[in-house]
Amino acid sequence: MIVVSSCLLGIPCRYDGTGFRRPDIMEILEGRDVLPLCPEQLGGLSTPRTPCEIVNGMVVGKDGIDHTGSFRRGAALALEEMSNFDVSVALLKEKSPSCGSCLIYDGSFSGRVIKGTGVFASSLIDMGVPVFSEEDLEGFISFLM
Ligand code: SF4
């Protein structure tokens, strides 16, 4: 089973109420078992919602409100859902405070990106689940072969 960030499958679960149309990803995943997960929605955050970034280990909204609890709850519920399946790998959305596996926004809400890991992606990496992003589809395809 492949865990995939729901928004990469076109599901409109992003903070701004959109999803991504990625025919290339759909083609790679065709015929494979996929578990779409959006940890932010699972954590009870609304869609649309205030954009959040990681600041000193906390997940804070652009409005200054601390949403760390919702992000952690969402990650825990996503892991619980995963436990029902034999998950071999994850394809997660880069730069997200939940799903980013190599890069995240720097917490200044200025569009700057730094090395870092989102709350959900961190949990998967800690568990030893191989995590790829949509920015490394070559690596992902190699893993699947
Ligand atoms: Fe996409 Fe993950 Fe953000 Fe949900 S939490 S919108 S799946 S990047």
Give 36-83 pLDDT, tens digit per residue.
999 999 999 999 999 999 999 999 999 999 999 999 999 999 999 999
Residue nearest to atom 1 of ligand 1 (CA): 7
Nearest atom in ligand 1 to 14's CA: 6
Residue 133: pLDDT band with limits 50, 70, 90: very high
Q: How many angstroms is it from 113 CA to the middle of ligand 1?
A: 17
Q: Select from 52, 93, 104 the residue to mutate for testing ligand 1; criterion: most ligand atoms less than 8 Å from CB.
A: 93
pLDDT of residue 119: 98
pLDDT of residue 72: 98
pLDDT of residue 106: 97
Residue 25: pLDDT band with limits 50, 70, 90: very high
Instruction: Give the separation between CA 86 and CA 105, rounded to whole angstroms.
Output: 31
pLDDT of residue 28: 98
- If you average pLDDT over residues 123-132, what whole number do you get? 98
pLDDT of residue 105: 98
- If you average pLDDT over residues 73-96, what whole number do you get? 98
User: What residues have CB less than 8 Å from 103, skipping those under 6 apart?
Assistant: 94, 95, 113, 114, 115, 116, 133, 135
Q: How many angstroms is it from 38 CA to the middle of ligand 1?
A: 5
| Its pTM surpasses 0.85 | yes
- What is the domain extent for residue 16? 2-144
User: What residues have CB less than 8 Å from 66, skipping those under 6 apart?
Assistant: 58, 59, 60
Q: Which residues' Cβ are closer than 6 Å to ligand 1?
A: 5-7, 13-14, 38-40, 93, 96, 98-99
Residue 141: pLDDT band with limits 50, 70, 90: very high
Number of domains within the chain: 1
pLDDT of residue 23: 98
DSSP character for 8?
A: G
Tokens for 46, please give them.
Answer: 């609304």
